[in-house]
Amino acid sequence: MRPQKITFGDMREAGIRGVLVWCADYRCSHSVALSADRWADDVRLSDIEPRFVCSACGKRGAEVRPDFNWGKPIVSAMGYRNMT
């Protein structure tokens, strides 16, 4: 059994508007940043993890975490968000 994570409502109260989703297969590690607006406040991040299917390898399941850098510009040359 996986541990329960925070709710989307808790996340929004902290000012976080996005999530990072990683493939559950550590060998794949495909990831995507998504807006959290589509989920209700009472839904936990851990509640949606089993629903994801990786578009790269097809494995079901994901690791979902808050995206603390949501909305910050991305440095295109490196693929990282600008931390300034």
- 80, two tokens: 């990282």
Contact predicate 67/33, CB 8 Å:
yes
Helix ranges (H only) for the chain are 8-13, 45-48
pLDDT at site 84:
45
pTM: 0.78
Backbone angles phi, psi at 44, to 5 degrees: -90, 150
- Tens digit of each residue's pLDDT, the chain (84 residues): 667 899 999 999 999 999 999 999 989 989 999 999 999 999 999 999 999 999 999 999 999 999 998 877 766 655 555 444
Domain boundaries defined on the chain:
8-81
Q: Do β-strands 18-23 and 31-35 pair in parallel, antiparallel, or remain unpaired?
A: antiparallel
The pLDDT tens digits of the residues spanning 13-32 come to 999 999 999 999 989 989 99
Signed CA dihedral, 82, 69, 73, 52: sign only: positive
